Amino acid sequence: MESRTKILGHPVHPMLIVLPLGLFIGGVVFDGIYLLWGNPSLASVGHWNIAGGIAGGFLAAVAGLLDWLAIPAGTRAKRIGMYHAASVVTAMLIFAGVVWTRFNSVDLAPTSTLFAVEVIALAFGSLGGWLGGELVDRLGVGVDNGANLDAPNSITGKGSRAA
């Protein structure tokens, strides 16, 4: 099943998830280092990484929703897509709660409890990432109908065979 949203022949949703996922992971890492070393700059970087992950995640969610709507009802892919969305939206909501809570603190610093909550959010995001991989790798969602080992170029439509 081909993706509904494409740029230059490639699906948009997988392109958009990379940055927010990296920002969430980076935010949790910086917060963990902050809790070990106590440098307030690290807490600030962690906070803004997570905030950026939420913004980027929202954009990825819009593209993902458009693709999900195109999946036929009653299929395993539709169900897995719902679980995928539920897990990543849960992660984003948890991260949003963390950002909101930290925004009201003086130095944007996480507590040990908030850090534990971030790790839980990251676990939900990881589950969502695995389910997204299941959709693409196992069920072929978002994969071009003409995909194969000798498929033509997605921009020019021309193949390149090394003879």
Examine the pLDDT at 48 and tell me if it is beyond 80.
yes
For a pLDDT cut of 70, what percent of the chain falls above it?
96
Span 7-33, mean pLDDT? 94
pLDDT at 163: 42
Residues 6+ apart with CB under 8 A from 12: 3, 5, 6, 63
Examine the pLDDT at 155 and tell me if it is beyond 60.
yes
Do the Cβ atoms of 8 and 154 come closer than 8 Å? yes
Q: Is the pTM of this model over 0.85?
A: yes
Inside any domain, residue 54:
yes
Q: In the structure, what pLDDT confidence band is assigned to residue 89 with cuts at 50, 70 and 90?
A: very high
Inside any domain, residue 63:
yes
Quote the domain boundaries for residue 88: 6-138
Q: In the structure, what pLDDT confidence band is assigned to residue 148 with cuts at 50, 70 and 90?
A: confident
Do the Cβ atoms of 19 and 163 come closer than 8 Å? no
**From 42-56, 119-133, 143-157, the region with the lowest mean pLDDT:** 143-157
Span 135-146, mean pLDDT? 84
Inside any domain, residue 121:
yes
Query: How far is 47 from 158, CA to CA, in rounded Å?
Result: 46
Q: How many domains does the chain have?
A: 1
